[in-house]
Amino acid sequence: AQKVTQAQTEISVVEKEDVTLDCVYETRDTTYYLFWYKQPPSGELVFLIRRNSFDEQNEISGRYSWNFQKSTSSFNFTITASQVVDSAVYFCALSEANSGNTPLVFGKGTRLSVIA
């Protein structure tokens, strides 16, 4: 069975601080996909990144970076020099590729508040 755990329910940081959002996943499949979504106050989930299980290369996109570690089943998300506009709920999600119908399984989300 697939499961995603985001242990941090809420995080508050001061603007310009770096912040890391943790994501730990469980899966029995060797082929799977990991995602991060951002949900601002408007409610719409915004896709940020997809990573497949065969690609452990870390990725950087502007102030965002992702650290995928299969050894610890983690896919952590770091925001560098945080800004107020980064305030949102961030969801990590997992999809197994070899289990027939494959919905996304989401973590409970981490609410990030960036204070000016």
Partner 1 sequence: ETGVTQTPRHLVMGMTNKKSLKCEQHLGHNAMYWYKQSAKKPLELMFVYNFKEQTENNSVPSRFSPECPNSSHLFLHLHTLQPEDSALYLCASSQNFLPGLAGESSYEQYFGPGTRLTVT
Residue 96 pairs with which residues in a beta bridge?
Answer: 32
Please tell me whether residue 36 binds partner 1 under the rule CB under 8 A: no
Q: From the list 11, 13, 45, 67, which residue makes contact with partner 1 (rule: CB under 8 A)?
A: 45
Please tell me whether residue 106 binds partner 1 under the rule CB under 8 A: yes
Residue 68 pairs with which residues in a beta bridge?
Answer: 75
Please tell me whether residue 61 binds partner 1 under the rule CB under 8 A: no
CB-side neighbour CA atoms (13 Å) of 98: 8
Q: Which is nearer to partner 1, 46 or 84 (CB)?
A: 46
Q: Which is nearer to partner 1, 74 or 102 (CB)?
A: 102
Q: From the list 27, 82, 95, 110, which residue makes contact with partner 1 (rule: CB under 8 A)?
A: 95
